[in-house]
Amino acid sequence: MTPELVEYYGGRAADVYLERAAKTLAGEGLDPVVQMEFFPDRDGLLCGIDEAVELLRCVLQPGDEAWGLKDGDRMERKEVVLRVKAPYSHFGRYETALLGMMASCSGWATRAREVVDAAAGTRVISFGARHVHPLIGPTMERAAVVGGCVGAATPGGAALAGLAAPSGTMPHAMILVFGDTVLAARAFDRHMGEEVLRIVLVDTFKDEAEESLRVAEALGERLRGVRLDTPWERGRVTVELVKEVRARLDLAGHPKVGIFVSGGLSAERIRQFVEAGAPVDSFGVGMAISAAPPIGFTGDLKEVAGKAVTKRGRIPGITENPRLKQLC
């Protein structure tokens, strides 16, 4: 984490009242060692704490401590997932950043896990970067991978998630420019490296089953799969459509060509495909994950200068959680 980013998190991206608190306390010469606990407002899958700890490692000093869980851990409502013990001036102005990292990322990861569970073993790839601000897209995609997605659409998301490469097929725009799906597929095959899977979008011009057969005949063994992304104006992708495409490919001698489904998928819709036995090899999910609501996190002071204190309605003193491990 760069010094410029640390400064940003504690300055322009921080709630202004934290800066005012820092100036007031410094003016009065007050800087006791405090313990602050962070906890969620509902159950979920924790994510963003690894980034939060990376920030803390940049601002905490020798003798300071941070204890917590890690990305990918299950968490319960009001469970303490992070505890910081240090002079308040060392980390107080970063509260906004710490809460926001865990709130957004945990929301995305929790929703991704719901989608992945619904897929019941079928691969799920994150396609949601286009639904969030571009500065946030890679972070969202990493959270989706923490939640169980096996792929991310952007190079930045793949890099943050530790994946070898981003995942993607081809856009309708490219096919429209060529004016024919087979022409686009052949050109794609000519210009893409061998590491890029030949998965062709087949709903741009013609019937999906017909187009799948045309592409399969054109690319032969090089075709890894076809992607069905039928728009809502045409009824979206259905269980029946997937089964028909699979049957026609098999009858034409292309049993190894996979079927990739995308377009407005949610956990509920994916569950319908699974329960109906639709032969889907991979799902591409966007808005269902990227638009997930954040999980609210709270940061409470529970101890000041060794004395158990807190705000009204909460219990003073640290909350024991044997799951916490020292992180810094």
- 172: burial class by Cβ within 10 Å (0-12, 13-18, 19+)? middle
Condensed to tens digits (0 to 9), the pLDDT of residues 82-113 reads 999 999 999 999 999 999 999 999 999 999 99
Q: Are residues 278 and 300 in the same domain?
A: no
Q: Are residues 98 and 113 in the same domain?
A: no
Q: Are residues 53 and 125 in the same domain?
A: no
Task: Give the span between the Cα atoms of 143 and 126, in whole angstroms.
Answer: 10
- Other Cβ atoms within 10 Å of 22 Cβ, number: 17
pLDDT for res 177 = 98
Domain total in the chain:
2
CATH number, position 21: 3.20.140.10
CATH number, position 202: 3.20.20.70
Q: Are residues 169 and 246 in the same domain?
A: yes
Task: Give the span between the Cα atoms of 315 and 41, in whole angstroms.
Answer: 16
Task: Give the span between the Cα atoms of 206 and 202, in whole angstroms.
Answer: 8
Q: Are residues 169 and 20 in the same domain?
A: no
- Other Cβ atoms within 10 Å of 72 Cβ, number: 16
> Can you read off the two tokens belonging to residue 198?
């030949």
State which residues form the domain around 96: 3-106+293-326
Q: Are residues 161 and 194 in the same domain?
A: yes
pLDDT for res 57 = 98
Q: Are residues 48 and 114 in the same domain?
A: no
Q: Are residues 149 and 279 in the same domain?
A: yes
pLDDT for res 73 = 98
Q: Are residues 114 and 21 in the same domain?
A: no
CA-nearest of 114, 110, 149 to 129 is 149
Q: Are residues 249 and 214 in the same domain?
A: yes
Q: Which residues in the chain come in under a pLDDT of 70? A: none
Q: Are residues 28 and 156 in the same domain?
A: no
Q: Are residues 238 and 284 in the same domain?
A: yes
Q: Are 245 and 226 in contact (CB under 8 A)?
A: yes
| Per-position DSSP letters for 99-163, written without gaps between them | HHHHHHHHHHHHHHHHHHHHHTTSEEEE--GGGS-TTTHHHHHHHHHHTT-SEESSHHHHHHHT-
Strand partners, 300: 37
Condensed to tens digits (0 to 9), the pLDDT of residues 35-90 reads 999 999 999 999 999 999 999 999 999 999 999 999 999 999 999 999 999 999 99
